[in-house]
Amino acid sequence: MGIPSYPAPLERLRAIMLRRWWLVSGLLWLTVAPLSLWSLRPEIAQLRQYFTWATVRLGLAYNRPAALGLGLCVGLTVALLVAESRYMLWGMTTAERQRLERLRDRIAAQGPSHPLWKQIYHD
């Protein structure tokens, strides 16, 4: 059971969009995650001495910005992994395919002046 085959421009466009989302996720991990962990320094120091799940829960409950930042990083990464796994197993959903086809058609209508034109229609 392999990945279903789609027209080349659609596959390229999907790959470009996926790379962009991974770039966003990477930037979040490089910026938001360290800031969130930095604000959890006292809780991390306490956890190093004596680890309990209650300390983890209370540390995140009373430090909302850190919890939201780490949740955003983890959530986007898990969402990307689930979406890619779903694509590998079952292919694109109808909605995803229609969205990419509309985007492909807009790029084709604009022609070579669109920034993604060369990446999608290079053959």
Residues 6+ apart with CB under 8 A from 119: 12, 16
CA distance 52 to 78: 25
Residue 1 has pLDDT above 60, yes or no: no
Instruction: Delimit the domains of the chain by residue range.
Output: 8-120
Among 121, 90, 113, which Cα is nearest to 1's? 90
82-85: which pairs have CB atoms within 8 A and are 24 or more residues apart? 84/18
Greatest mean pLDDT range, 10-19, 29-38, 56-65: 29-38
Confidence (pLDDT) at 123: 64
Confidence (pLDDT) at 100: 94
Q: Tell me how many degrees the CA angle 100-102-107 measures, rounded to the nearest 5.
A: 90
pLDDT band for 48, please (50, 70, 90 cuts): very high
pLDDT band for 8, please (50, 70, 90 cuts): confident
pLDDT band for 6, please (50, 70, 90 cuts): confident
Calculate the alpha carbon distances from 87 to 64, 78, 97, 103, 109 in Å: 34, 14, 11, 19, 27
Q: What is the pLDDT of residues 67-116, one digit of tens each?
A: 999 999 999 999 999 999 999 899 898 999 999 999 999 999 998 999 99
Residue 40 has pLDDT above 80, yes or no: yes
